[in-house]
Amino acid sequence: MRIALPTPTMNTMNIEEFSKKLSEILSAAEKEFRLADSSHLAVVRAKFLGRKGELAKVMRALGSLPADVKPEAGKLANNTKQKLEKIFAQFEPQKISVHKKFDPTLPGRKPAIGGIHPLEWTLRKMVDIFYGMGFSVASGPEIETEYYNFDALNTPEDHPARDIQDTFYLQKPGYLLRTQTSPVQIRVMESQKPPVRIIAPGRCYRRDAIDATHYYTFTQVEGLYVDKDVTLADLKGVLTAFAKQFIGKNVRVRFRPHFFPFTEPSVEYDFSCPVCDGKGCRVCKGTGWLEISGAGMVDPEVFKTVGYNPDEVQGYAFGMGVERIAMVKFGIDDIRLLYENDLAFLEQF
């Protein structure tokens, strides 16, 4: 059993008390260093290791210890001093190591910068070309109504495009994911008087089985021009001007008769193959032509729907698949590559 002694003063300690005092200083120092913010580390250091600090005070008591324990006490005190330095270094390291390791003469690290996706590049380029020909850009919702996506575009009730096999219908009756950007044409014509000269770029959705040329989503740019005395020749002219700017000076455009509900007459149009200049090659499967999309003169029924007088105005409309154009431009043979975000593929652009 230990007898409680009066608290010793600094000057009259024995070796046990001396040792105990040192460990108290150590644990107090550790606590204070841990709590100190970086601007106070120096103050805390002085409090324990300074000339008038805690350790110095205990050292002064060393002289009053019996001579035979002085060497041991000296060792203990030195030991404590080293431990205090160590603790201090532990809480100071950021400052020291940063100054030692930072070499301002080393070249900087370049941040990795992504490129523009080929699809986005193509879309921007297309918009740019049509903008240069006087078309402004219009947009509309991707969730559409059956009215705008089909009815207003003169699409009969029994048209196969309306089939649930081809269209994503929403649970709310009458709503769907637009299958084309043509509804934007209706919305624009409803809200403004002719003349109209717009392109409508945007995402569309169809329930296509996915393969090398089909995907459930795709990007379309549709064009619409309505004015007095607009003819099919104007349509061919604008498509040819686009093809020459986008693909090359020698590209020609041809029309093939077709049927679409909202144009009459309707055509499908092709660009001459830029790879073989129309002579026939692997890319164009020997035909010399690349199928692009559909176009035609706006059906008078559509004009009536939006309140235009078909006796006063005519118009043409055309569609373009941005994926198709990008694939032609970059020689990409699988549409899925444009959506899989494979870096090895994308880093080529």
Which residue minimizes CB distance to Zn ion? 273
Cα separation, 5 vs 10, in Å, equals: 14
Give the number of other CB atoms < 10 A from CB of residue 261. 17
* Smallest gap from residue 276 Cβ to Zn ion (A): 3
- Closer to Zn ion by CB, 15 or 275: give it: 275
In the complex, least distance from residue 221 CB atom to Zn ion, rounded to whole angstroms: 24
How many residues at the interface with Zn ion, by CB under 5 A? 6
Smallest distance from Zn ion to CB 277, Å: 8
Question: Which bin fits 40, alpha (ψ -120 to 50), beta or left (φ > 0)?
Answer: alpha
Report in angstroms how near the CB of residue 248 gets to Zn ion at its nearest: 13
Q: Which stretch binds Zn ion (CB under 5 A): 27-35, 162-170, 213-221, 269-277?
A: 269-277
Q: By CB under 5 A, which span of 245-253, 275-283, 296-304, 322-330 interacts with Zn ion?
A: 275-283
**15 or 276: whose CB is closer to Zn ion?**
276
Nearest residue to 327 via CA among 216, 219, 167, 203: 219
- Tell me the one-letter amino acid at 152: A
- Residue nearer to Zn ion on the CB measure, 283 or 346: 283
Q: Is residue 163 exposed (0-12), middle (13-18) or buried (19+ Cβ within 10 Å)?
A: exposed
Residues 280-319 as x/- pattern, contact with Zn ion by CB under 5 A: -x-xx-----------------------------------
SS3 292: strand
Q: Which of 56, 69, 241, 276 binds Zn ion (CB under 5 A)?
A: 276
What sections of the chain are H helices per DSSP?
15-35, 41-49, 54-60, 70-91, 93-101, 118-132, 146-149, 182-191, 232-246, 300-306, 322-330, 343-346
According to CB under 5 A, which one of 275, 291, 336, 345 is a site residue for Zn ion? 275
Nearest distance from residue 250's CB to Zn ion, in Å? 12
Nearest approach, Cβ of residue 155 and Zn ion (Å): 34
273 near Zn ion (CB under 5 A)? yes
What is the rounded CA–CA span in Å between residue 108 and residue 314?
A: 61
Residues forming a β-bridge with 258:
266
Q: Which residues bind Zn ion (CB under 5 A)?
A: 273, 275-276, 281, 283-284
